[in-house]
Copies of this chain bind each other. A is one copy, B any other.
Amino acid sequence: MYIDDLPTPALIVEANALEHNLGLMAGLYPGSRLRPHVKAHKCSALAKVQQRFGHTGFTCATPREISGLVRAGIEADFLLANESLDTARLGAIAGSNPTVAVDSDETIHAAHRAGIRNVLIDIFVGLPRCGCEPDDAARLADLARSLKMNVRGVMGYEGHLMMVTPPADKKSQVAAAMETLLACAAKVGGDVVSAGGTGTYREHLESGVSELQAGSYALMDTQYASLGFPFQQAVHVVGTVISRSAGWAVADVGLKALGMDHGNPEVDGYDVWFCSDEHVTFAVKRDAASLPVPAPTVLPRIGENVLVTPAHIDPTMSQHERIYVHREGLVVDEWAIDLRHW
């Protein structure tokens, strides 16, 4: 079966591109230096491929991501890089001996009550989200240790810096954020300093952290592509053109098949006008023939397929039940997106 034979909308991943991306990152961040973030794909089968590239731990955003990986037979050093007060869900994953991010008395006590034994102190490094004030890090570490918990170190996510340009600004701003994190690490103790994402993978080669939490690098999206990284676009959504008029065409890939928080997807070489629940409306680019990379000058016919590239990979993956794996168009496997929901 070829990708053009799939019922649409169909989420697909090109295996050669995926392996290129995994190999490139594993070369830079081998083994435990990379802790792949599974929130980017929510797919245990893909996590197993990441294990084959040498990584021994995973970053997770929800307890269900961890329990799903365990259910799929994966043994690893799991990090719940997120705060939780849900002692039932934390208790359900405690048996896999995960490490859990904490940033307050409440989250430490919740983890303790749930039988969690390992924590990282989550530090605010500039993104207004989770993370304690740097001045509070040592106190929280002491509290956790007083409860006989193992404080493995710190984490701090500089999510606000992922898209900073030019590179010199990104480098200096990441360095400043990591200065804060490393100062906390010295006070907190432990040997883990976990940070970063795909957008700052270059900066962390020399930032002093012990591990990178990148996820998007495996599959990519149009937002990260805008940064000119050497990772390839591995995921698309195949759509069928279901309607066409003189001025536009419509494919059956809508906003229920895409993460829309970063805006519209791209459709081949066309201009996307807007998405509806089950549709994307697109048109021939103005001056299509004279662009540096020539674009189609005619619309596809009704019944033809188009490739839609999502703007944000994480919430695109979580909209789908499965992803088809192909090599240059030939479908070779099908993976369940089995780590969705909470």
Contact = CB atoms under 8 A, between A and B. Distances in A.
Nearest to A340: B256
* A: interface residue count bin: 35 or more
Contact of A315 (B82, B244, B277): B277
Contacts of A107: 242-243, 302
Contacts of A61: 277-278
Contact of A128 (B39, B245, B314): B245
Interface string A1-40: 0000001110000000000000000000000000000010
A318 interface: yes
Copies in the complex: 2
Nearest to A279: B129
A9 B159 CA distance: 22
Interface string A285-318: 0000000000000000011000000000011001
A261 interface: yes
A86 interface: yes
Interface string A35-64: 000010000000000000000000001100
Could you say which of A83, A257, A259, A319 has the most chain B C-beta atoms within 10 Å of its C-beta?
Answer: A83
Interface string A233-274: 000000010111101101010011101110000000000010
A308 to B, nearest CB: 14
A85 interface: yes
Interface string A93-124: 00000000001101100000000000000001
A147 to B, nearest CB: 17
A279 B130 contact: yes
Given A259-B255, A260-B260, A342 B303 contact: no
Could you say which of A62, A124, A248 has the most chain B C-beta atoms within 10 Å of its C-beta?
Answer: A62
Contact of A8 (B86, B159, B242): B86
A321 interface: yes
A196 interface: no
A67 B132 CA distance: 49
A280 to B, nearest CB: 10
Contacts of A318: 256, 319
21 contacts: A39-B277, A83-B250, A103-B243, A106-B302, A107-B302, A128-B245, A128-B247, A128-B273, A128-B281, A129-B243, A129-B279, A130-B243, A130-B279, A131-B243, A256-B314, A256-B315, A256-B340, A259-B260, A260-B261, A261-B275, A321-B341
